[in-house]
Amino acid sequence: MKLRVKVFRFDPSTGKKGYDTFEVPYEEGMTFLSALQRIKETQDPSLTFRHFCRAGICGTCTVYINGFPKLACKEQVLPYVLTGQEVTVEPLDKFPVIKDLAVDHEEVTDRLKRFRSWVKGTKEEVKIDPSLNRKIQESADCILCSACQSYCPQVLEEEYAGPLFFAKIYRFLEDPRDDSKEERIKQAIEEGHIFHCLSCDKCNSACPKDVKPATLIREIMTFFENG
Ligand code: FES
């Protein structure tokens, strides 16, 4: 059995864009990341893509597989191999491509800094109820893979910060150790334009960690409405 894969290519030195098709012999347990590595080792050493943990934790390997964002290190190739059809692998949509499948995350990183995605507080010891902890965990499970951000149609509107940021903010709004809630809500509205969310739930479907950013966005809106 073989995986037939059409991979997006971009060479920044020439500006050339296009697709290359490769055939990769199937091996038991093969993921798209291992298929890309096999191509790099045996067919084209110039093929460029990001990865780190290989375990669905670091969020660096996200690519589009047949038009849908997936973690390459988690997505098994077998179901695609069994269809016998060619599979398309492309970089994250709406992100500047650096080379082939590697995209530039700088804008996301900069915005995360502006949104201060860390607990901001002075309380030394706070007991967190287990049920509240579970709620916080829903948002803290985000691995910043940008799948939601890339799949959200509304991020094309530049003012709208996007689901990734609101999923992060939610965690701090629920965290009793954080003492800048009012400031965060103000920032979500004025800087992030949270009310521009279309509530289309596309980010919920794209998130590989089941964080459900759209659901969290609706909860943040209730923080605002309840004062
Ligand atoms: Fe870390 Fe895929 S390599 S999430």
At 118, the pLDDT band (50, 70, 90 cuts) reads confident
Distance 95 CA to ligand 1 centre (A): 18
79, 130 contact by CB (below 8 A):
no
CATH code given to domain 2-103 = 3.10.20.30
**Cβ proximity of 167 and 139 under 8 Å:** yes
| 71 pocket-lining for ligand 1 (C-beta < 6 Å) | yes
CA 144, 206, 137, 179 torsion: positive or negative? positive
d(CA 155, CA 164): 10
Residue to probe by mutation, ligand 1, list 36, 63, 73, most atoms within 8 Å of CB: 73
Cβ contacts of 191 within 8 Å, gap of 6 or more: 114, 115, 161
Q: Distance from the CA of 216 to the center of ligand 1, in angstroms?
A: 24
Full DSSP string of 1-57: -EEEEEEEEEETTTTEEEEEEEEEE--TT-BHHHHHHHHHHHT-TT-----SSSSSS
User: So where are the chain's domains?
Assistant: 2-103, 106-225
Mean pLDDT of 54-69: 97
Is the CB of 57 inside a 6 Å radius of any atom of ligand 1? Answer: yes
CATH classification of 106-225 is 3.30.1360.120, yes or no?
A: no
What pTM was estimated for this model as a whole?
Answer: 0.93
pLDDT at site 123: 74
- Report pLDDT digits (tens) over 160-211: 999 999 999 999 998 888 988 889 999 999 999 999 999 999 999 999 999 9
Q: Does the C-beta of 58 come closer than 6 Å to ligand 1? A: yes
Q: How remote is the CA of residue 58 from the centroid of ligand 1, in Å? A: 5
Residue whose token pair is 């045996």: 42
Q: Which ligand 1 atom minimizes the distance to the CA of 53?
A: 1
The CA 9 to ligand 1 mean position distance, Å, reads 21
Sequence-ordered alpha helix ranges (H) in the chain = 32-42, 78-83, 106-114, 130-140, 147-151, 163-174, 181-190, 202-206, 213-225
Share of the chain above pLDDT 70, in %: 99
Candidates 51, 89, 105: which one to mutate for ligand 1, based on the most atoms within 8 Å of Cβ? 51
